[in-house]
Amino acid sequence: MALESVVTNGTGRTAFIDGYRVGGKTGTAQKVKDGKYMVGNYITSFMGFMPANDPELIVYIAVDNAKGVTQYGGTIAAPIVKNILTDAIDIMDIKKPEGASEKNYQPAEKKYITVPNVIGKSKKEASELLKGLTPYYSGTGDTVTYQSPKAGERILEGEKIRVLLGK
C-alpha cells in the first residue's frame, strides 16, 4: 500500500509504530500574503491512519509556521500524529496485525527498544527500568498506576513514555 510506504520508507517515517500498520501522507505548504509567497513561513501537516489495511482511526494535524525547526510535515506534524496513534493503541485496544511492514533503517536512525513493565513500581524503580527512554511523570504519589505505551511495546530509544503516579 502506497500510503503505508510513506510511513515505513518515506517522508512520514517519524510516524512509524513498530509492529503496527500505519499509513499516512505528509504536507508542506508555503503561505501566501498579498499575492506573494512568504519566505520561511509554512503550514506543515500529516494525516495518519491505522491499521493501514482497515483503518479504525484517522488523525490529521496541521502546524502553522513552526518556529526553530525545519518546516516539513514529516518532521513536525508526523511525530504528533504518532503520539496520538500510540495512545490510541491502548485506549482502543488495537492488536498488532500479522504482516505489518518493517521499517528500513537509515544509518543515523535510532533503534527500537522494548518498553518494560513499571506498573506497581516506585518512581525511583521505574526511572531505573526506563533508562533509554524519556519518562513523563504525572499524578501524585510514588507508585506507578498506568503507563503508555504498555509493557512489551517497542518504541524508539529515547522516546517519551507517559507514567501516571498514584498511591
Query: 2-91, which class in CATH?
Result: alpha beta
- Look up the pTM and report it: 0.62
Q: What is the mean pLDDT of residues 45-65?
A: 93
Q: What is the mean pLDDT of residues 132-137?
A: 91
* Cβ contact 143:120 at 8 Å: yes
- pLDDT on residue 146: 93
Q: What is the mean pLDDT of residues 76-103?
A: 84
* Cβ contact 45:26 at 8 Å: yes
Q: Name the pLDDT band for 106 (thresholds 50, 70, 90).
A: low
Q: What is the DSSP string of 100-137?
A: PPPP---TTPPPEEEPPP-TTSBHHHHHHHTTTSEEEE
The fraction of the chain above a pLDDT of 90, given in percent, is 51
Structural fold of domain 112-166: Trypsin Inhibitor V; Chain A (3.30.10)
Lowest-pLDDT range of 23-27, 38-42, 45-49, 66-70: 66-70
Q: What is the mean pLDDT of residues 130-156?
A: 89
Q: Name the pLDDT band for 162 (thresholds 50, 70, 90).
A: very high
- pLDDT on residue 35: 94
Instruction: Return the domain boundaries, the chain.
Output: 2-91, 112-166
* Cβ contact 30:95 at 8 Å: no
Residue 35 to residue 41: CA distance in whole angstroms: 14
